[in-house]
């Protein structure tokens, strides 16, 4: 639990932290292949690695380092691997929503349907409604945001347009009970390194340390996106090991606050004057 009162006036963040750090893990099991009409065998079996190896490996790393994390889980993967989701929750981590079949298309009329479906699956499985959502493909609309509000979500971690959190903006106004926690999928995501540039894990670690130090110097917010798959993900031993090294490096800095995103969103919504330094810009249209 984040202390709502202990931050000193030199820091915008809770507990006088210089930098807030969120380790977020997108389950991305076989739902991704199913959503694209593929089988999950042979060349398309990467997603099956998540529940078998990647998730258990990350749960061990998180236990060993003693930090919280947020797992974004597609509804289909939760249906196929309910025990994995129970183990995530039983280990004290947050489960948030991530589409149903990792929808890789524009979220039109079916967007709210998939959101509702996954919301019900996760609520039944976890025993509490999820509070956060991340678009599985980055696609969303004002209609999506209205559905999130209706279902009681307090944050969305899909946008890439700012360095810091900000209040949601859609329908021509700012919404003071729904916050955007941006995720940088260019340099704080394993996908481009392991799927596009095929960068060795040691170089990925060096890059993420540089990103952390630059964000820390600005007193910012570090939101790392990981995938426990093989292929483009970080589920395999060497790639997972550098994440543990990164966590240990950040802990040694001594002034970082590790959070799950629901905790962080709740703190931000209750303490807007601490982090909202300038009035939010209203874009006047769909988010």
**Residue range(s) defining the domain that contains residue 221:** 14-275
pLDDT of residue 230: 93
Question: Which backbone phi and psi does 182 adopt, to 5 degrees?
Answer: -60, 145
Q: What is the mean pLDDT of residues 185-191?
A: 97
The answer to the question of residue 8 being in a domain is no
Residue 106 belongs to a domain? yes
Q: Is the residue at 4 inside a domain?
A: no
Q: Is residue 285 part of a domain?
A: no
Does residue 5 sit within a domain?
no
Across all residues in the chain, what is the average pLDDT? 91
* Between 2 and 46, the higher pLDDT residue: 46
If pLDDT is split at 50, 70 and 90, which confidence band does 273 have? confident
pLDDT tens readout for residues 66-91: 999 999 999 999 999 999 999 999 99
CATH number of residue 29's parent domain? 3.20.20.370
Residue at 266 is within a domain: yes
Residue 213 lies in a domain: yes
Is residue 258 a part of any domain in this protein?
A: yes
**How do residues 198-250 score in pLDDT, each as one tens digit?**
999 999 999 999 999 999 999 999 999 999 999 889 999 999 999 999 999 99
Between these two residues, 158 and 280, which has the higher pLDDT value?
158
Domain total of the chain: 1
Q: What is the pLDDT of residue 145?
A: 92
């Amino acid at each position: 639990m984040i202390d709502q009162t202990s931050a000193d006036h030199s820091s915008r963040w809770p507990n006088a932290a210089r930098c807030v750090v969120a380790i977020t893990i997108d389950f991305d099991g076989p739902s991704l292949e199913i959503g694209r009409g593929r089988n999950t065998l042979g060349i398309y079996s990467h997603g099956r690695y998540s529940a078998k190896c990647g998730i258990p490996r990350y749960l061990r790393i998180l236990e060993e380092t003693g930090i919280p994390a947020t797992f974004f889980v597609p509804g289909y993967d939760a249906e196929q691997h309910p025990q994995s989701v129970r183990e995530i929750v039983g280990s004290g981590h947050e489960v948030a929503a991530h589409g149903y079949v990792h929808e890789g298309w524009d979220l039109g009329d079916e967007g709210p349907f998939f959101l509702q479906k996954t919301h019900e699956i996760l609520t039944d499985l976890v025993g509490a409604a999820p509070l956060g959502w991340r678009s599985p493909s980055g696609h969303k609309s004002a209609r999506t945001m209205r559905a999130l509000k209706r279902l009681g979500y307090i944050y969305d971690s899909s946008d890439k347009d700012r360095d810091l959190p900000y209040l949601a903006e859609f329908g021509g106004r700012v919404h003071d009970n729904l916050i955007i926690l941006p995720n940088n999928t260019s340099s704080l995501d394993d996908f481009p390194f392991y799927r596009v540039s095929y960068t060795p894990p040691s170089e990925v670690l060096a890059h993420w340390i540089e990103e952390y130090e630059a964000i820390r110097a600005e007193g910012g917010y570090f939101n790392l996106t990981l995938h426990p798959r093989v292929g483009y993900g970080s589920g395999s031993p060497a790639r997972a090991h550098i994440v543990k090294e990164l966590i240990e490096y950040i802990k040694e800095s001594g002034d970082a606050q590790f959070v799950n995103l629901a905790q962080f969103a709740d703190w931000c919504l209750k303490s807007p004057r601490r982090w909202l330094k300038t009035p939010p810009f209203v874009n006047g249209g769909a988010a």
